[in-house]
Amino acid sequence: MRRSVWQKNWTTSRGKRPVWHCNNRYKVKGVQGCTNRYIDEETLQQAFLRALEILRENKDTLLEKWANFSEDQKLEKYHSEQLKKLVESDQTAFDGRRMCQVLEKIALGEDGCISIKFLEGTEVDL
């Protein structure tokens, strides 16, 4: 599996700060592919935590959705179990390892909106 972002550090007057951007941005050397903006690591973490809060607020709907996965949808069932554990936990601090277990991608819109898609198919727009 390949992640859709990679990390690098920008050096500013305040020092280095980690930023993320799409790894398809320069897939072909010298040719800009993806035009999505960069996102600070702290903003990315806060967006993930906010999406998790939204999932917790809609837990009943999600549980119903997950219960309707058929036996043929083994991968979706697995990913939904991982996300269910995270949603049902009382974790409020960011945990990158747990994020990577449930996250498919984070997309940044031209208008600054952030869309977070989880591996089991749920998408949250912030």
Q: Which residue has the higher pLDDT, 125 or 28?
A: 125
Q: What is the pLDDT of residues 9-63, one digit of tens each?
A: 556 666 677 777 776 666 667 776 676 667 788 888 999 999 999 999 999 999 9
Q: Check residues 7 and 106 and name the one with the higher pLDDT.
A: 106
pLDDT tens-place string over residues 78-115: 999 999 999 999 888 999 899 999 999 888 887 888 99
Per-residue HEC secondary structure of the chain comes to CCCCEEEEEEEECCEEEEEEEECCCCCECCECCCCCCCEEHHHHHHHHHHHHHHHHHCHHHHHHHHHCCCCCCHHHHHHHHHHHHHHHCCCCCCCHHHHHHHEEEEEECCCCCEEEEECCCCEEEC
